[in-house]
């Protein structure tokens, strides 16, 4: 990519990278039965039967200004709404397909037009979700897996007919009828050729050059302007080389589902937002409006409370960059701006000693204060340097009680440009969690005594251990609800530190219920591998070998939610 192209790309992306927080809206005919947006496929509902839902769809309580107000007060900067989902129903006035909300329902209004007007008034970017490959209503839509084969015969499908007579013309409608569109959010591109993917991106660029395109426009890696992570998936440190976004639900489903009452708490949502921003990403948080056109009260309540927190802490979120440290902190997370670090401390992790210790800050701290304190009264700080270990330590004096709700922010103003030791150093608490892609990845060999499971790879770190002692080594994995951990690790694991090897199949020793990174349908599982003695302070090599370590540069994007067990991190804890 040339310098001029990189500059143009950065300019196009600027609003999005600064926004950090958006609203996802899954709304369509599937709201009526309330069984989720995949019901037509899962129950093999015939097209003629499914079309009858349109005659019942009359969301008379829909109020575009109210929706936009809810999003804005939550601190969201953009809205992505399903203009067409996999069922093929257009939630706008489409001249190329009568199966749309204006022509096929008693509602007769175009909610996208009303949202475009409301977003323009409030300074919110309107964006559209469009299912460009899966369309169960159209006889010629072809996906690599999820096709309508109960109404249509696969051998009679002719994908170019669908592509050229519906998909591309509807994209033209969306990009010419509603003013400036922030981005087009494509979904599930399995089986789409690279040529057709590039054709769609070029089509969008020809209509609105500044409109962003997400990576799900293609299953080939590197397409689009930014990386859409898997549903509810927060990536690991070192996993993504370009901007990314996590689409996440407030409960467990995307479309309206009155049976799904498993709602994330406001505290959990604040922590997840902070965690995602600290890793350099955006959070796209979903609501599923009712058939009447209202956003569920449980969603509205949480978004209001979330907005109260983002309003007080906007400086530490919007336009902030990722933490300069390549690992998580057991007390919270860090975001950054030039000359500033923002320490987001979970209230239940607020230091009882009245002091927070942070290693690796080389700058002199000129001023430290609580973001919730309008007077910016100085917090006491002490900085020391261990010449032998080349280790910088900062101690920050804190009040006895956390000043804000859920997560409280400490601001560090630094002299000069941010200068941080980004090496792996055990935290003052005696723990350190290292995500797999943050290590040096190499090809490995089959672990003795185990077979199968694909190619083995190595991840290696150099770890500074400031305090000697006995350390427990554990693995962190995400296990899908229908998976067995031991089966996922059937090829074995080998972990070596200070010449001490640990070989075996990880077991489910602990489940973390309040993980800021793990969402349904996965659970965060910790597996103890053993204990190692560290005789003296210094740097130690740690190497992990496993068939579950992903290669860094694959041809295709990872299939979302496909892996039953995902190996995430190695954790070191002094005991």
Please state, in angstroms and rounded to a whole number, the distance separating the CA atoms of residues 238 and 69. Answer: 36
Choose among 288, 299, 261, 294: nearest CA to 31.
Answer: 288
Choose among 407, 26, 28: nearest CA to 247.
Answer: 26
Mean pLDDT by 10 residues, the chain (575 residues): 78 97 98 97 98 98 98 98 98 98 98 98 98 98 97 98 98 98 96 96 98 96 93 92 95 96 97 98 98 98 98 98 97 98 98 96 98 97 97 98 97 97 97 97 87 84 97 98 95 94 96 92 97 97 95 65 90 97
pLDDT of residue 288: 98
Task: Give how far Cα 121 sits from Cα of 174, 363, 489, 491, 568, Å.
Answer: 19, 43, 53, 57, 43
pLDDT of residue 2: 67
pLDDT of residue 558: 56
Sheet with 332-337: strands ordered across: 332-337, 340-346, 407-414, 365-370
pLDDT of residue 368: 98
Residues 6 or more apart whose Cβ sits within 8 Å of residue 455: 443, 444, 547
Residues 6 or more apart whose Cβ sits within 8 Å of residue 513: none
Q: What is the model's pTM?
A: 0.96
Q: Which domains does the chain have, with CATH numbers?
A: 3-316 (3.20.20.80), 332-422 (2.60.40), 431-574 (2.60.120)
pLDDT of residue 559: 54
pLDDT of residue 298: 98
DSSP letter assigned to residue 349: G
């Amino acid at each position: 990519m040339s310098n001029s192209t990189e500059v143009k790309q950065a300019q196009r992306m600027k609003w999005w990278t600064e926004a950090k927080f958006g609203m996802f809206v899954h709304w369509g005919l599937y709201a009526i039965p309330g069984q989720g947006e995949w019901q037509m496929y899962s129950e093999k509902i015939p097209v003629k039967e499914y079309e009858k839902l349109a005659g019942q769809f009359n969301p008379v309580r829909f109020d575009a200004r109210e929706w936009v107000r809810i999003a804005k007060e939550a601190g969201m900067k953009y809205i992505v709404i399903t203009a067409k989902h996999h069922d093929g129903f257009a939630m706008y006035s489409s001249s190329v397909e009568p199966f749309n909300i204006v022509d096929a329902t008693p509602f007769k209004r175009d909610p996208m037009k009303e949202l475009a007007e409301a977003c323009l008034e409030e300074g919110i970017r309107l964006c559209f979700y469009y299912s460009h490959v899966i369309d169960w209503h159209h006889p010629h839509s072809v996906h690599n897996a999820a096709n309508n084969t109960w109404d249509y015969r696969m051998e009679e499908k002719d994908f170019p007919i669908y592509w050229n007579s519906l998909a591309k013309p509807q994209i033209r409608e969306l990009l010419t009828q509603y003013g400036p569109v922030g981005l087009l959010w494509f979904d599930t591109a399995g089986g789409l050729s690279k040529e057709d993917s590039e054709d769609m991106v070029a089509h969008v660029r020809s209509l609105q050059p500044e409109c962003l395109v997400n990576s799900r426009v293609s299953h080939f890696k590197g397409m689009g302007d930014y990386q859409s992570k898997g549903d509810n998936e927060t990536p690991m440190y070192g996993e993504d080389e370009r901007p990314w976004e996590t689409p996440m639900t407030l409960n467990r489903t995307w479309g309206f589902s009155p049976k799904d009452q498993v709602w994330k708490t406001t505290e959990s949502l604040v922590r997840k937002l902070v965690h995602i921003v600290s890793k350099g990403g955006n959070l796209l948080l979903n609501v599923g409006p009712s058939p009447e056109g209202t956003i569920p009260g449980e969603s509205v309540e949480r978004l209001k409370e979330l907005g109260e927190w983002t309003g007080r802490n906007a400086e530490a979120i919007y336009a902030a960059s990722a933490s300069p440290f390549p690992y998580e902190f057991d007390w919270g997370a860090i975001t950054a701006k030039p000359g500033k670090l923002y320490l987001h401390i979970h209230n239940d992790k607020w230091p009882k000693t009245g002091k927070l210790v942070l290693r690796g800050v080389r700058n002199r701290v000129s001023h430290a204060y609580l973001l919730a304190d309008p007077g910016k009264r100085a917090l006491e700080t002490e900085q020391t340097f261990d010449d032998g270990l080349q280790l910088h330590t900062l101690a920050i004096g804190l009040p006895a009680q956390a000043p804000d709700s859920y997560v409280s922010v400490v601001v560090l103003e630094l002299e000069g440009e941010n200068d941080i030791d980004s090496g792996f150093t055990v935290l003052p608490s005696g723990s350190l969690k290292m995500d797999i892609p943050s290590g040096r990845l190499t090809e490995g060999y089959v672990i003795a005594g185990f077979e199968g499971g694909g190619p083995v790879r190595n991840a290696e770190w150099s770890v500074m251990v400031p305090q000697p002692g006995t350390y427990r080594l554990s693995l962190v994995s995400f296990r899908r609800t229908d998976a067995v951990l031991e089966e996922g690790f059937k090829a074995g694991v080998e972990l070596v530190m200070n010449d001490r090897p640990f070989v075996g199949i990880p077991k489910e020793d602990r489940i973390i219920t309040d993980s800021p990174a793990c969402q349904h349908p996965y659970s965060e599982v910790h597996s103890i591998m053993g204990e190692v003695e560290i005789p003296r302070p210094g740097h130690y090599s740690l190497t992990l070998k496993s068939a579950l370590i992903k290669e860094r540069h694959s041809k295709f994007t990872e299939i979302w939610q496909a892996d039953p067990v995902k190996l995430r991190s190695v954790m070191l804890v002094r005991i």
